[in-house]
Amino acid sequence: MLIAPSLIAMLGFLVYPMGSVIYYSLQHYNVAKPWDNGFAGLENFRTLLFEDPLFWQSLGFSVRWVVVEVVLQLLLGLALALIVNESFVGRALSRALVFSPWAVSGVLTTAIWVLLYNPFTGMSRYLADMGLMEYGAAPLANPDTVFWAAVLAELWRGVPFFAILLLADLQSVSKDLYEAAAVDGASRMRRFLHITLPHLRDAIILSTLLRSVWEFNNVDLLYTLTGGGPAHQTTTLPLYVAQQAAQSHNFGYATALTTVAFLILTFFSIVYLRLSKFGAKS
């Protein structure tokens, strides 16, 4: 009885919608063109695989985006967690400050970084005033720089996620192990490689997986920061779906894209957990 509300909520608003996604994906369903609606079979999927270059382009960008973000966030997050795990003066305050972007929304991140990147209001103008670079740099409008400009903004709010999770796990490493290793003359690097990393193993696997899925799915930042542009260069697959649904009202096709995205994610997650032997402490 106690679990009924959870069960009903999740069946009604997670499982049932997932089923209806698959149902819609087999339909022609376009709110703007209701006269064409009807059963479509696998036609949406055929269009998507063979006739839609934007599908492949957005999938490619999604993969690049996820890999770059997750790797950089993990490395920086791990370094940050190790630093704030040391004892030093001002530790509590430092933790609160460096973790704080975690609580900030994608739209707010965009608002802040738009101010920073804008050629008139941004950093570049002040750097140009000092003679360090040329006036008029607009990282978000330039196809050469837009990717890294977006990556940097997402890093800003993404690193704390890893730092918090890894710090939580670091605090459960037994101090005795380090002391014993230090007595045996193990260098700091060796202690890190042989004690810290193995201990963090499962936390790293789980957090990278959760984060990959999250980075793949999340659209807030790119939707508002670049709108997927310039020229669809920063369109991820979910962003493409959102645009299909919101602008072209082509629900049938958008749900076919959704289904493919879900299959890709599930497949990736299973393979990742298998390959990484999650839960098998050596």
Residues 32-51 that bind other proteins (CB under 8 A): none
Residue 6 or 282: the one with the smaller Cβ distance to other proteins is: 6
* Choices 47-55, 60-68, 130-138, 216-224; region in contact with other proteins by CB under 8 A: 216-224
Q: Which of 169, 201, 211, 228 binds other proteins (CB under 8 A)?
A: 169
Shortest spacing between CB 103 and other proteins, in angstroms: 4
Separation of alpha carbons 240 and 214, rounded Å: 16
Shortest spacing between CB 178 and other proteins, in angstroms: 6
Shortest spacing between CB 18 and other proteins, in angstroms: 6
User: Any contact of residue 187 with other proteins (CB under 8 A)?
Assistant: no
Determine contact, residues 242/64, Cβ cutoff 8 Å: no
Which tokens in the block code for residue 127? 């750097």
Beta bridge partners of 30: 250
Separation of alpha carbons 135 and 122, rounded Å: 11
* Choices 44-52, 53-61, 112-120, 131-139; region in contact with other proteins by CB under 8 A: 112-120
Q: Which of 37, 57, 208, 224 binds other proteins (CB under 8 A)?
A: 224
Tell me which residues in 52-71 interact with other proteins (CB under 8 A): none
Tell me which residues in 238-267 interact with other proteins (CB under 8 A): 238, 241-242, 245-246, 251, 254-255, 257-258, 261-262, 265-266
Tell me which residues in 71-90 interact with other proteins (CB under 8 A): 76, 79-80, 82-86, 88
Q: Which of 26, 59, 140, 167 binds other proteins (CB under 8 A)?
A: 167
Separation of alpha carbons 281 and 45, rounded Å: 41
Q: What is the residue whose two structure tokens read 């779906």?
A: 241
**CA neighbor of 97 nearest in space, from 153, 49, 156, 39:** 156
Separation of alpha carbons 186 and 87, rounded Å: 21
Q: What is the residue whose two structure tokens read 């670091």?
A: 170
Which tokens in the block code for residue 193? 């490689």
User: Any contact of residue 199 with other proteins (CB under 8 A)?
Assistant: no
CA distances from 115 to 3, 102, 226 (A): 47, 19, 13
* Choices 16-24, 34-42, 45-53, 139-147; region in contact with other proteins by CB under 8 A: 16-24
Tell me which residues in 136-165 interact with other proteins (CB under 8 A): 156, 164-165
Contacts of 241 (CB under 8 A, 6+ apart): 254, 257, 258, 261
Rounded to 5°, angle at Cα 39 from 53 and 51: 10
